[in-house]
Amino acid sequence: MEPKAIAREMTASTTTTVHEIEQTSSELYKVGTYITAGFAAIIGVWAVVCLSSAFISTGGPVALVKSMFGAM
C-alpha cells in the first residue's frame, strides 16, 4: 500500500515544480515588458523636452523650420 502513496506524492511534486517554472518564466517576461515600457517613456519625455527647448531657443516653430532648412 505504501509504494502507491509515495508514487502519487512524487508525481504531484514533479507536476507542481514544472508549473512553478512556467509561472516564473511568465513573470520574467512581464518584468521585461515593464522595464522596456519604462525606458520608452523616459526617452519620449526626453524628446519632448528637447523639442520644446528648441522651440524656445529659436523663437517658435516657424523659426525652427527655417533654421532646419538653413542647416541643410
Give the mean pLDDT of 6-11.
Answer: 54
pTM of the predicted structure, to 2 decimals: 0.56
Give the start-to-end residue ranges of the domains of the chain: 2-71
H or E element in which residue 54 lies: helix 2-58
Round to whole Å and give the CA distance between 53 and 45.
Answer: 12
Q: Quote the Cα angle for 14-23-12, to 5°.
A: 20
Question: What are the cell numbers at 45?
Answer: 519625455
Summarised one tens digit per residue, pLDDT across range 27-41 is 888 899 999 999 999
